Structure 1
Amino acid sequence: MPSGPLTVHEQRVLDDMERVLRRDRRLDRQLRTLRPARGPHARTVAMPLLVSVALMVAGIRTSEPAVIWAFAVVWPPTLVLAFRLLCRWTEG
Protein backbone atom coordinates (compact mmCIF):
# COMPACT_ATOMS: atom_id res chain seq x y z
CA MET A 1 0.00 0.00 0.00
CA PRO A 2 1.54 3.34 -1.00
CA SER A 3 2.32 5.67 1.86
CA GLY A 4 2.77 8.90 -0.08
CA PRO A 5 0.39 11.86 -0.23
CA LEU A 6 -3.13 11.38 -1.58
CA THR A 7 -3.85 11.94 -5.23
CA VAL A 8 -6.26 14.69 -6.25
CA HIS A 9 -9.00 12.12 -6.91
CA GLU A 10 -8.46 10.41 -3.52
CA GLN A 11 -8.51 13.76 -1.71
CA ARG A 12 -11.76 14.72 -3.47
CA VAL A 13 -13.38 11.41 -2.49
CA LEU A 14 -12.20 11.84 1.10
CA ASP A 15 -13.55 15.41 1.23
CA ASP A 16 -16.93 14.22 -0.10
CA MET A 17 -17.09 11.50 2.54
CA GLU A 18 -16.25 13.95 5.32
CA ARG A 19 -18.87 16.40 4.07
CA VAL A 20 -21.57 13.70 4.08
CA LEU A 21 -20.57 12.51 7.56
CA ARG A 22 -20.61 16.05 8.97
CA ARG A 23 -24.23 16.48 7.84
CA ASP A 24 -25.34 13.33 9.70
CA ARG A 25 -26.63 14.82 12.95
CA ARG A 26 -27.53 11.50 14.54
CA LEU A 27 -24.00 10.18 14.01
CA ASP A 28 -22.59 13.43 15.37
CA ARG A 29 -24.72 13.16 18.52
CA GLN A 30 -23.72 9.51 19.02
CA LEU A 31 -20.04 10.32 18.67
CA ARG A 32 -20.27 13.26 21.09
CA THR A 33 -22.04 11.19 23.75
CA LEU A 34 -19.91 8.09 23.25
CA ARG A 35 -18.61 6.81 26.55
CA PRO A 36 -16.05 4.08 27.10
CA ALA A 37 -17.22 0.78 28.53
CA ARG A 38 -17.59 1.07 32.28
CA GLY A 39 -16.49 -2.47 33.09
CA PRO A 40 -18.25 -5.59 34.28
CA HIS A 41 -21.40 -5.57 36.37
CA ALA A 42 -21.84 -7.53 39.58
CA ARG A 43 -24.07 -10.03 37.79
CA THR A 44 -21.36 -10.61 35.19
CA VAL A 45 -18.83 -11.45 37.90
CA ALA A 46 -21.20 -13.54 40.05
CA MET A 47 -21.51 -16.44 37.62
CA PRO A 48 -17.80 -17.19 37.09
CA LEU A 49 -17.25 -16.62 40.81
CA LEU A 50 -19.88 -19.23 41.70
CA VAL A 51 -18.45 -21.65 39.15
CA SER A 52 -14.94 -21.10 40.52
CA VAL A 53 -16.01 -21.71 44.10
CA ALA A 54 -17.92 -24.84 43.09
CA LEU A 55 -14.90 -26.16 41.17
CA MET A 56 -12.60 -25.34 44.07
CA VAL A 57 -14.78 -27.24 46.53
CA ALA A 58 -15.15 -30.16 44.13
CA GLY A 59 -11.40 -30.20 43.51
CA ILE A 60 -10.64 -30.23 47.23
CA ARG A 61 -13.13 -32.99 47.93
CA THR A 62 -12.37 -35.26 44.96
CA SER A 63 -8.77 -34.43 44.01
CA GLU A 64 -9.71 -35.17 40.40
CA PRO A 65 -7.15 -33.67 37.99
CA ALA A 66 -9.86 -32.63 35.50
CA VAL A 67 -11.71 -30.64 38.17
CA ILE A 68 -8.51 -29.04 39.41
CA TRP A 69 -7.54 -28.07 35.84
CA ALA A 70 -11.02 -26.69 35.21
CA PHE A 71 -10.64 -24.54 38.32
CA ALA A 72 -7.18 -23.44 37.16
CA VAL A 73 -8.69 -22.31 33.85
CA VAL A 74 -11.70 -20.49 35.32
CA TRP A 75 -10.07 -18.80 38.32
CA PRO A 76 -7.70 -16.25 36.64
CA PRO A 77 -10.37 -14.65 34.41
CA THR A 78 -12.66 -14.54 37.44
CA LEU A 79 -10.02 -12.63 39.38
CA VAL A 80 -9.56 -10.19 36.52
CA LEU A 81 -13.33 -9.58 36.31
CA ALA A 82 -13.57 -9.11 40.07
CA PHE A 83 -10.65 -6.68 40.06
CA ARG A 84 -12.22 -4.65 37.23
CA LEU A 85 -15.52 -4.60 39.12
CA LEU A 86 -13.79 -3.31 42.24
CA CYS A 87 -12.02 -0.65 40.18
CA ARG A 88 -15.36 0.39 38.70
CA TRP A 89 -16.95 0.65 42.15
CA THR A 90 -14.11 2.77 43.53
CA GLU A 91 -13.86 5.17 40.55
CA GLY A 92 -16.08 7.74 42.17
Structure 2
Amino acid sequence: MSLGRLPEHEQHILDEIERSLRRDRRLNRLMRGRRTRRGPDLRRLAARVARRAAPRGRTVALLAVVAVALMVTGLLTAAPWAIWTFAVVWPVVVFMGFRLLSRWSGDAGPPPDGR
Protein backbone atom coordinates (compact mmCIF):
# COMPACT_ATOMS: atom_id res chain seq x y z
CA MET A 1 0.00 0.00 0.00
CA SER A 2 1.39 3.35 -1.00
CA LEU A 3 1.65 6.18 1.50
CA GLY A 4 2.12 8.83 -1.17
CA ARG A 5 -0.43 11.23 -2.60
CA LEU A 6 -3.57 9.86 -4.24
CA PRO A 7 -3.95 10.04 -8.01
CA GLU A 8 -5.73 13.16 -9.26
CA HIS A 9 -9.10 11.54 -10.01
CA GLU A 10 -9.19 9.69 -6.64
CA GLN A 11 -8.28 12.88 -4.76
CA HIS A 12 -11.12 14.66 -6.60
CA ILE A 13 -13.58 11.91 -5.56
CA LEU A 14 -12.38 12.04 -1.95
CA ASP A 15 -12.72 15.85 -1.84
CA GLU A 16 -16.28 15.58 -3.16
CA ILE A 17 -17.20 13.00 -0.50
CA GLU A 18 -15.74 15.20 2.25
CA ARG A 19 -17.63 18.25 0.94
CA SER A 20 -20.94 16.39 0.95
CA LEU A 21 -20.33 15.07 4.47
CA ARG A 22 -19.56 18.57 5.77
CA ARG A 23 -22.89 19.80 4.36
CA ASP A 24 -24.89 17.06 6.08
CA ARG A 25 -26.39 18.80 9.14
CA ARG A 26 -27.87 15.67 10.65
CA LEU A 27 -24.51 13.91 10.56
CA ASN A 28 -22.81 16.95 12.13
CA ARG A 29 -25.37 17.03 14.94
CA LEU A 30 -24.89 13.30 15.58
CA MET A 31 -21.11 13.59 15.60
CA ARG A 32 -21.14 16.60 17.94
CA GLY A 33 -23.44 14.82 20.39
CA ARG A 34 -21.28 11.72 20.65
CA ARG A 35 -18.58 11.39 23.23
CA THR A 36 -15.52 9.41 22.47
CA ARG A 37 -15.36 6.62 25.00
CA ARG A 38 -12.46 4.32 25.53
CA GLY A 39 -13.99 2.13 28.19
CA PRO A 40 -16.99 1.63 30.43
CA ASP A 41 -18.64 4.65 31.98
CA LEU A 42 -17.38 4.25 35.53
CA ARG A 43 -19.60 6.96 36.99
CA ARG A 44 -22.75 5.28 35.73
CA LEU A 45 -21.51 1.88 36.91
CA ALA A 46 -20.68 3.26 40.37
CA ALA A 47 -24.13 4.87 40.64
CA ARG A 48 -25.83 1.60 39.71
CA VAL A 49 -23.79 -0.35 42.26
CA ALA A 50 -24.47 2.29 44.93
CA ARG A 51 -28.22 2.06 44.36
CA ARG A 52 -28.25 -1.73 44.57
CA ALA A 53 -25.77 -2.08 47.41
CA ALA A 54 -27.24 0.44 49.83
CA PRO A 55 -26.35 -0.87 53.31
CA ARG A 56 -29.09 -1.56 55.81
CA GLY A 57 -28.84 -0.87 59.52
CA ARG A 58 -29.24 -4.50 60.55
CA THR A 59 -26.54 -5.63 58.14
CA VAL A 60 -24.04 -3.06 59.42
CA ALA A 61 -24.88 -3.90 63.04
CA LEU A 62 -24.45 -7.64 62.41
CA LEU A 63 -21.11 -7.11 60.67
CA ALA A 64 -19.98 -4.83 63.52
CA VAL A 65 -20.80 -7.56 66.05
CA VAL A 66 -18.89 -10.12 63.95
CA ALA A 67 -15.93 -7.73 63.70
CA VAL A 68 -15.87 -7.15 67.46
CA ALA A 69 -16.09 -10.90 68.12
CA LEU A 70 -13.19 -11.49 65.72
CA MET A 71 -11.18 -8.73 67.39
CA VAL A 72 -11.73 -10.19 70.85
CA THR A 73 -10.91 -13.69 69.58
CA GLY A 74 -7.75 -12.42 67.91
CA LEU A 75 -6.64 -10.56 71.06
CA LEU A 76 -7.28 -13.45 73.43
CA THR A 77 -5.95 -16.32 71.32
CA ALA A 78 -3.52 -14.56 68.93
CA ALA A 79 -4.90 -16.84 66.20
CA PRO A 80 -3.73 -15.62 62.78
CA TRP A 81 -7.01 -16.60 61.09
CA ALA A 82 -9.00 -14.39 63.52
CA ILE A 83 -6.65 -11.45 63.10
CA TRP A 84 -6.66 -11.67 59.29
CA THR A 85 -10.42 -12.16 59.13
CA PHE A 86 -10.88 -9.11 61.35
CA ALA A 87 -8.50 -7.17 59.07
CA VAL A 88 -10.74 -8.04 56.12
CA VAL A 89 -14.11 -7.46 57.81
CA TRP A 90 -13.36 -4.22 59.69
CA PRO A 91 -12.79 -1.90 56.67
CA VAL A 92 -16.01 -3.23 55.13
CA VAL A 93 -17.89 -2.42 58.35
CA VAL A 94 -16.45 1.09 58.49
CA PHE A 95 -17.20 1.78 54.82
CA MET A 96 -20.76 0.48 55.07
CA GLY A 97 -21.28 2.40 58.30
CA PHE A 98 -20.20 5.67 56.70
CA ARG A 99 -22.45 5.03 53.70
CA LEU A 100 -25.37 4.26 56.00
CA LEU A 101 -24.80 7.41 58.06
CA SER A 102 -24.51 9.44 54.88
CA ARG A 103 -27.79 8.07 53.61
CA TRP A 104 -29.51 8.67 56.94
CA SER A 105 -28.26 12.26 57.07
CA GLY A 106 -29.77 12.91 53.66
CA ASP A 107 -26.48 13.89 52.06
CA ALA A 108 -27.10 13.73 48.32
CA GLY A 109 -23.55 14.67 47.35
CA PRO A 110 -22.12 17.92 46.02
CA PRO A 111 -24.47 20.63 44.75
CA PRO A 112 -25.31 20.51 41.04
CA ASP A 113 -23.09 23.49 40.18
CA GLY A 114 -20.02 21.48 41.28
CA ARG A 115 -18.93 23.73 44.16
TM-score normalised according to structure 1 size: 0.56
Selected match of 1:73 from 76, 84, 88: 88
- In angstroms, what is the RMSD of aligned CA positions? 1.8
Aligned-residue offset at 1:55: 0.2
Dislocated runs of 4+, deviation >3 Å? none
1:60 has 2:75 as partner: yes
C-alpha displacement of 1:40: 1.3
Q: Name the structure where helix makes up a greater proportion of residues.
A: 1
- Structure of greater relative contact order (alpha carbons < 8 Å, 6+ residues apart): 1
Deviation of 1:37 after TM superposition, in Å, equals 2.6
Among residues 51, 55, 75, which one is paired with 1:37 in the alignment? Answer: 51
TM-score by length of 2: 0.45
In 1: Cα distance, 2:93 partner to 2:64 partner: 6
Provide, for residues 17-76 of structure 1, a one-character-per-residue CA deviation record: whole Å limited to 9, x for no partner.
xxxxxxxxxxxxxxxxxxx83821101211111110100011111111111011001111
Provide structure 1 residue ranges, at least 5 long, that are not aligned to the other structure: 1-35
Who wins on radius of gyration, i.e. which is larger? Answer: 2
Number of equivalenced pairs: 57
Query: Identity of aligned pairs, percent?
Result: 51
**Structure 2, unpaired ranges of 5+:** 1-49, 108-115
